[in-house]
Amino acid sequence: SGTIRSPGFPDEYPSPSFCKWKILVPAGKRIRLVFNSLSLEHHGSCNYDYLKILDGGDAHARYMGRFCGDFVPEQLITTGNMATLYFRSDTSVSEKGFELQWSALNGGVSEVTTVATTTLGHPTATVSSVTADGGGWKILVPAGKWIRLVFNSFSLEGFLDCTYDYLQIYDGGDDSARSMGKFCGEDVPEPLITSGNMAFLSFSSDQVISKKGFELQWSA
């Protein structure tokens, strides 16, 4: 476990600044990030001063969030044992910066191994915050069975290609499997049935429009 702070915290950070932190914990564990404080120059798209967090060890890892302003983000949990954080500020406004604590959690990507019917959902996201809840859900049922996914409700920001907020479902154990659909907007998707005994669900939202989210039930 440890603590990461912006330069000079709790005093104002220098302008300009650029910092990078990489967190690595033992294989098979995940990383929990809990914010104690955040105060960065505000911008609607966090273009000026921001903290960016990636779910992995390099710049190509899955995006977990880009934060600015005075809203303290919810906790974040990675899907694996690495996280990368970037802090950048421009040459104008300086604020107090941020402080967060990180710790290792047992278990890799969230995995469900029971065959009982289970409900999955995502809480309402908040403006200027992107939360990932570990990045996704992996469902595993006994060999020889299929998985049926039935949506109870669905309300995400709508866009033609579901670029901003979306739920994507894969017919296998991770996001390299065949995509069964990428969903956004207000239309409740039809039930889905996998071709095998695994499914992976990935949810992503940006820092602008927030909706109620979704709830679905799965069964073997």
Q: Are 98 and 35 in contact (CB under 8 A)?
A: yes
Model confidence band, residue 99 (pLDDT cutoffs 50, 70, 90) = very high
As given in the structure block, the two tokens for residue 181 are 């659909």
- Walk me through the domains of the chain, giving residue ranges and CATH numbers: 2-106 (2.60.120.290), 111-219 (2.60.120.290)
Q: Is 27 helix (H, G, I), strand (E, B) or coil?
A: coil
Q: Is the pTM of this model over 0.75?
A: no
Token couple for 31: 């990383």
Average pLDDT over residues 192-204: 85
pLDDT in tens, 118-167: 444 443 322 222 233 345 788 888 878 888 888 888 998 887 778 888 88
For residue 190, is pLDDT > 60? yes
Amino acid at 142: P
Cα–Cα distance between 80 and 78 in angstroms, integer?
6
Q: What is the pLDDT of residues 8-29, one digit of tens each?
A: 999 999 999 999 999 999 888 8
More confident residue, 39 or 121: 39
Classify the C-alpha dihedral 32-132-122-40 as positive or negative: positive
Share of the chain above pLDDT 70, in %: 86
Q: Which candidate, 17, 56, 59, 38, places its Cα nearest to that of 207?
A: 38
Q: Who wins on pLDDT, 95 or 206?
A: 95
